Each structure stands twice: as C-alpha cells, then as structure tokens.
C-alpha cells in the first residue's frame, strides 16, 4: 500500500470551466508539499477531490492506498481537511464543536472530550473554549478549523490556505505544528499565497497554473532563469560605480532604500559577482536573492503563461 497522496492526470471541469486539468503530484508520508498557484488556478478544487468531496472527471487519486472516489469512508478515516471557507456551527461552543467532530469520526465520548482539550491548547483557544463559535474572529475561526482537521489524528493532512487571517505568532505556531506533524510521519499538502512562509515549511512545491501542474522541465527552466538579487552597501556610490565597472548583465533593475536590485542568472554567477565586489573593496553588508525560491519560480511560471497568452 502506497502511503501519502498520489495524484496522476487528474482533471475536473465545472461546465465550461476547466478548473483542474491533468494535475500530477505526490506527497510522501513525513513531508510537506506546498500547493502554489494564482487565484482560480484550481488549488481548492484539487483539494476537494483529495478530500473525497468532489469526483474527478479523469485521472487517479490514491490516499494511503485508497481511491477517494470509490472508498471515501476509508480515505476519510485517515485524512484531515481544513477548508478555505470558514464554516463552524454557530451556536456550538468551540469545545462542543471539536467534541462533535470527534464523535463524527467515531471516537468514544471520553476520547473525543480529551482530544478536544488537547487541540484547544494546541491551537491556543483556551480562553474561547466555552464561547459559541459565532463570536470568534476570523483568525480564531481559522484556528478552530485547523483543530477540527486534526481531531482524529489523520496521517494525511490537507490545508487550504491555513495561514490566512492568522497573526504573526499564530503563523509561527502553525509552521512549527506542521513541521512537527510531518516529523511524526504525516503527509501534508498545504496551499497558501504567502510564499515566504511556505519556503520555510515545505519540503517540495507543486505549481498549478490554469489547473495544470508545472512540468519538471518548466520548473528547471524557471529555476535557471535570471532573478533579482539585492545588494546593500555601506557606500552606495562605490557599489554603483563598481557595478558599472563590472558591467553586470542583464543589469541593474532598480535602486531602492533597501539596496540595489541586480538581475543575476544562477547562483554561480551570484557568487562570482559577490567575489568581484569584495575584490573591488565595496563594503557589502547584504547580498541575497530578493525573492524566495518559491516566489521566484511562481512568478517565472506565471510570467511564462502570460507571454504565451499574449502570443497566441
């Protein structure tokens, strides 16, 4: 039995809208995979298919070895899903909502109660435990939603934009929680638009564009394309003249108060540029990629489609 998530060639249309087309990905137990794509690229639709709620038109999905379309019950027993919409039973308290969810997963009453307490402290909802969930703020509801996805200690976790609405401390907690769950062997698929955050928590990334997962070749191309590096120097004019002297290609993109942005193709070229700046005695105090890896790939992939769309 193949544990974790396997998706191959999955597509799904809503009428004339092809929400997901030929998506392929796999998430192994103990790893965190980021699902990245622009608005409307089909992330939520893909998650719904994984969560046994939506049947794919084509392709195969297995979750811990079971097909969600034919054996939804087996998949549900070991899969936790945190939806992107906030839905909670308004008149139930946080604790009652978690207990009820536990009972829906056929936990015994005592286990459900104990688990609810555990999750309340895990997600920092102690003070709100006995308030009806109607009164929760957006971020608090988001925490409740996360807690609910974890009620039955699933070995596959689907998180659809879990960080939206969370404060910085809660985001750090979320990141640590996700890493800890992965450390315990959970397969985690997480979508988010905050790529810097995914950079820190994901082992791998899957890019969706118009419902298609980016091919390995496209990813390699995007990784190799030139990207902006930010250089900050204690002596800005010296940096400027050194850069002109070196004659960086493709060249200086812009200068802002955080430093100078320079387009560099590949990390080797960046190392060489830094060496030459140091040798030219420029006092460099900051030298690094201006955007994270995920963001760079994301922007490059979607720039690609824009060009294609304009060309056709």
Partner 1 sequence: MTTVTTGSTPTSFGVWISGLWLIVSLELRQRVRGTAWYVLLGIFVLLVALVTTLLWAATGASLVGGGGVFSLIVFFVLLLGTLVSPALSGNAINGDREAGTLATTQVTLISTGQLVLGKFVAAWITSLAFLAASVPFLIFAVSAGEVSAATIGTSIVVLAIELGVIAAIGVGLSGVVTRPLFSIVVTYLLVAALSLGTLIAFGLLGAATKATTTSTFTPVLSSDFDPETGEQSNVVCGPAETTTYETPRFDYYWWILAANPYVVVADASPGVFDEYGSPSDSFAWIAVSVRQAQTPPDLATEYNACEEASSGYSSYSGEYPGMQGPGPTQQEIYDSALPSWFVGLAIHLALAVGALFWAWRRTLTPARRLAAGSRIA
Ligand X SMILES: Nc1ncnc2c1ncn2[C@@H]1O[C@H](COP(=O)(O)OP(=O)(O)OP(=O)(O)O)[C@@H](O)[C@H]1O
131's CB contacts (< 8 A; 6+ apart) are 93, 94
Nearer to partner 1 (CB atom), residue 134 or residue 279:
134
Q: By CB under 8 A, is residue 192 in contact with partner 1?
A: no
In the window 70-109, what residues touch partner 1 (CB under 8 A)? 72-74, 76-79, 81, 83-92, 96, 100-101, 103-107
Buried b (16+ CB within 10 A) or exposed e, 239-254: beebbeebebeeebee
Give the integer Cα–Cα distance in Å for 157 and 26: 13
Q: By CB under 8 A, is residue 275 in contact with partner 1?
A: no
Nearest CA to 213 out of 4, 31, 33, 37 is that of 37
Supply the minimum distance, in Å, between the C-beta of residue 45 and Mg ion.
8
Q: By CB under 6 A, is residue 41 in contact with ligand X?
A: yes
CB 211 within 8 A of CB 41: yes
Nearer to Mg ion (CB atom), residue 46 or residue 261:
46
Q: By CB under 5 A, is residue 84 in contact with Mg ion?
A: yes
Query: In a 3-state reduction of DSSP, which class is residue 260?
Result: strand
CB 255 within 8 A of CB 214: no
70's CB contacts (< 8 A; 6+ apart) are none
Nearer to partner 1 (CB atom), residue 105 or residue 122:
105
Q: By CB under 6 A, is residue 43 in contact with ligand X?
A: yes
Query: In a 3-state reduction of DSSP, which class is residue 213?
Result: strand
Among residues 2, 8, 14, 106, the one that binds ligand X under rule CB under 6 A: 14
Among ligand X, Mg ion, partner 1, none, partner that 183 touches (CB below 5 to 8 angstroms by kind): none
> Which residue ranges make up the site for partner 1 (CB under 8 A)?
14-15, 44, 48-49, 51-55, 68-69, 72-74, 76-79, 81, 83-92, 96, 100-101, 103-107, 145, 148, 152-155, 181, 184-186
* Site residues for Mg ion per CB under 5 A: 44, 84
């Amino acid at each position: 039995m193949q544990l974790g998530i396997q998706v191959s060639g999955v597509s799904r249309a809503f009428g004339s809208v092809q929400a997901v087309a030929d998506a392929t990905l796999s998430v192994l137990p103990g790893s965190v995979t980021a699902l990245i794509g622009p608005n409307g690229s089909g992330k939520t639709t893909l998650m719904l298919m994984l969560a046994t709620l939506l049947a794919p038109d084509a392709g195969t999905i297995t979750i811990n070895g079971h097909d969600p379309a034919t054996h939804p019950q087996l998949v549900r027993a070991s899969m936790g899903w945190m939806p992107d919409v906030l839905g909670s039973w308004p008149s139930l308290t946080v604790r009652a909502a978690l207990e009820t969810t536990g009972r829906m997963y056929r936990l015994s009453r005592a286990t459900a109660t104990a688990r609810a307490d555990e999750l309340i402290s895990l997600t920092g909802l102690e003070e709100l435990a006995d308030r009806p969930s109607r009164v929760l703020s957006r971020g608090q509801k988001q925490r409740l939603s996360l807690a609910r996805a974890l009620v039955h200690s699933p070995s596959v976790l689907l998180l659809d934009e879990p960080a939206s609405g969370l404060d910085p401390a809660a985001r750090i907690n979320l990141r640590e929680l996700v890493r800890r769950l992965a450390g315990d062997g959970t397969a985690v698929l997480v979508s988010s638009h905050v790529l810097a955050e995914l950079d820190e928590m994901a082992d791998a990334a899957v890019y969706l564009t118009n419902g298609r997962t980016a091919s390995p070749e496209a990813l390699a191309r995007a990784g190799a394309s030139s990207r902006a590096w930010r250089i900050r120097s204690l002596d800005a004019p010296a940096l400027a003249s050194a850069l002109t002297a070196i004659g960086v290609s493709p060249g200086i993109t812009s200068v802002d108060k955080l430093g100078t942005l320079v387009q560099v193709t590949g990390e080797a070229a960046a190392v060489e540029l830094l060496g030459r700046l140091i040798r030219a005695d420029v006092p460099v105090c900051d030298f690094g990629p201006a955007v994270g890896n995920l963001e760079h790939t994301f922007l490059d992939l979607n720039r690609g489609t824009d060009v294609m769309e304009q060309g056709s």
